[in-house]
Amino acid sequence: MKKKKRVGYAKYGYLFSLPFVIAFAVFSLYPTLYTAFIGFTDLKGIGKTTFHFLWHDPFLNFRTILTSPTFLIALKNTLVMWILNFIPQLALALLLAAWFTNRRFKIPGEGAFKVLFYMPNIITAATVAILFNALFGYPMGPVNDLLTRFGILSEPYNFLVKKNVARGIVIFIQTWMWYGYTMIILISGVLGISPDIFDAAEVDGANGWQTFWRVTLPNIRTILLFTLVTSLIGGLNMFDIPKLFLLGGPDNATLTTNVFIYNQAFSGGYLYNRAAAASMIMFVLIILSSAVLFYLLRDKDEEKLRRIEKAEAKKERRAKKEGAR
- Whose CA is closest to 174, among 102, 90, 76, 284? 90
List 243, 253, 255, 260, residue binding other proteins (CB under 8 A): 243
**53: three-class secondary structure by DSSP:** strand
- Contacts for 224 with CB less than 8 Å, ≥ 6 apart: 186, 189, 217, 297
- Whose CA is closest to 183, among 250, 262, 119? 119
CB of 318 to other proteins, least distance (A): 27
Q: Is 23 in the site for other proteins (CB under 8 A)?
A: yes
List 75, 90, 96, 97, residue binding other proteins (CB under 8 A): 96
- Contacts for 231 with CB less than 8 Å, ≥ 6 apart: 82, 86, 89, 178, 182
Distances (CA, A) of 150 to 137, 153, 155, 165: 17, 8, 11, 21
- Contacts for 313 with CB less than 8 Å, ≥ 6 apart: none
CB of 36 to other proteins, least distance (A): 8
List 1, 52, 109, 203, residue binding other proteins (CB under 8 A): 109
Within 258-277, the residues that bind other proteins by CB under 8 A are 258, 261-262, 265-266, 272, 275-276
Within 117-176, the residues that bind other proteins by CB under 8 A are 117-120, 122-128, 130-135, 137, 140-142, 144-146, 149, 176
CB of 37 to other proteins, least distance (A): 8
Give the total of residues touching other proteins (CB under 8 A): 104
Which among 18-26, 66-74, 199-207, 299-307 is the span making contact with other proteins, rule CB under 8 A? 18-26
List 24, 53, 213, 295, residue binding other proteins (CB under 8 A): 24
Rounded CA gap, 171 and 238, in Å? 11
**39: three-class secondary structure by DSSP:** coil
Within 288-307, the residues that bind other proteins by CB under 8 A are 290
Q: Is 81 in the site for other proteins (CB under 8 A)?
A: no
